[in-house]
Amino acid sequence: MLDVFNQDAFSVTRLNQAMREVAYVPSRIGAMGLFTPSNIDVTSVAIEKADKNGLIVVPASARGSQGATRDMAKRSLRQLTVPHFQTDDAIYADEVQGVRAFGQEVAMETLVSKIAQKAAVHSQDFALTEEYHRLNLIKTGNLLDADGSVLFNYATEFSEALPAEIDFDLDNATPAEGALRKLCATITRSMGATLDGLPFRGIHAFCGDAFFDDLIAHAEVRETYKGHEAATTLRNAYVNDGGGGSWGSFEFGGITFENYRGGGTISVDTNKCHLFPVGVPGLFQTVYAPADYIETVNRRGQRLYAKQWRMPNDKGVNLEFQMNALHYCTRPRVLMRGKRT
């Protein structure tokens, strides 16, 4: 009797391999490489935070006397449990019934193909989930669940506050000359001060449609590019990367403004923009924890897992796909928000 469901194709190793072989769904934040991934062999992560420890001007003192003293930074530890995300599926015996007469090899090929098809769908779901988590983390400083509820409020966890929303005043028909560039410079200086001297390559902004449209039409922006070789940059800002999560981008005032291409809950409000520094070591982190299986206990986690178990009366096998991932920002206070007006 042909017992295909006990074959190697249904081992945890092969199922996980099927998940990994599926191409990662294009996602803008994932493609940018903002988040540094790490793999842990436990189900929670401890994040240590040191309070800001500003420099002091050391006063002169007599030789041989006691020197100035200073308080050292206070440290705090946060223990965060890695969230568990799971989807379920199944393959029934009837799905391979028609190939039994052709032998075990053909049946196995059919099963592997069906596993790959199901893995592709679930892998896309998890890719979408990651983009949702990461984008909303940049937007709000929070890790949100699928229904919008807060899993972790990192500003609260790290005893920080997000800066006030910045008004770009893009609906002003007669803006003051140089006001927009001055605002960008103020944002850059503020970002650098908030980073406490940490290096960063620049500032990136995910923009909603109306914000981006008004920004690119702003007199100061157009005057900057007019009659210059870089004018092609402005002309090509619509649409230069429609398939990669972006409707276009351009640089102004030292900030790269990008019209984020989203949909549904994975989107930027049409009148808003969200600014963050790029190139900061360890600013955005993703931690992958092991699955809740016996064979994965105390082993380093991987991004995706899959497993199967038999249905009653051998009707087929149940399939389970899961991801155990925690995304966080180590300095939520650098996440700035802008509005069109």
Q: How far is CA 248 from CA 187, 208, 259, in A?
A: 22, 11, 6
Return all residues near 295 (Cβ < 8 A) that are at least 6 apart: 12
Q: What is the pLDDT of residue 276?
A: 98
State residue 114's pLDDT score. Answer: 77
Q: What pLDDT does residue 55 have?
A: 46
Range(s) within the chain of domains with CATH label 3.30.1930:
162-283+331-339
Dihedral sign computed on CA atoms, order 309, 313, 314, 317: negative
Q: Are residues 336 and 274 in contact, defined by beta-carbon separation less than 8 angstroms?
A: yes
What's the pLDDT score for residue 329? 94
**pLDDT tens digits for range 45-86:** 888 776 554 444 555 666 667 766 655 555 667 888 999 999
CA angle 322, 150, 319 (to 5 degrees): 15
CATH domain 4-51+76-150+284-329 topology: putative capsid protein of prophage fold (3.15.30)
Query: Which pLDDT score is estimated for 68?
Result: 64
Which pLDDT score, from 0 to 100, does residue 96 have?
65
CB atoms within 10 A of CB 163: 17
What secondary structure letter does DSSP report for 236?
A: T
User: Cα–Cα distances in Å, from 298 out to 72, 96, 313, 324?
Assistant: 36, 36, 33, 14
pLDDT at position 102 is 42
Q: Which residues does the chain have with pLDDT short of 70?
A: 1-26, 50-64, 67-76, 96-112, 227-236, 238-244
What's the residue count for the chain? 341
Helix (H) or strand (E) holding 212: helix 209-216
Q: Where in the chain are all domains bearing CATH 3.15.30?
A: 4-51+76-150+284-329
Task: For strands 284-288 and 35-39, give the pairing.
Answer: parallel
Q: Which of these, 65, 71, 79, lies nearest to 52 by C-alpha position?
A: 71
Into which CATH architecture does domain 162-283+331-339 fall? 2-Layer Sandwich (3.30)
Measured distance between the N- and C-terminal CA atoms of the chain, rounded to whole angstroms? 71
Distance CA 11, CA 95 (A): 19
> Comparing C-alpha atoms, which of 274, 276, 277, 284 is closest to residue 329?
284
Closest to 139 measured CA to CA, from 246, 256, 268, 326: 268
DSSP helix/strand/coil, 337: strand
pLDDT for 252? 94
Cβ-based burial of 217 (10 A; exposed 0-12, middle 13-18, buried ≥19)? exposed
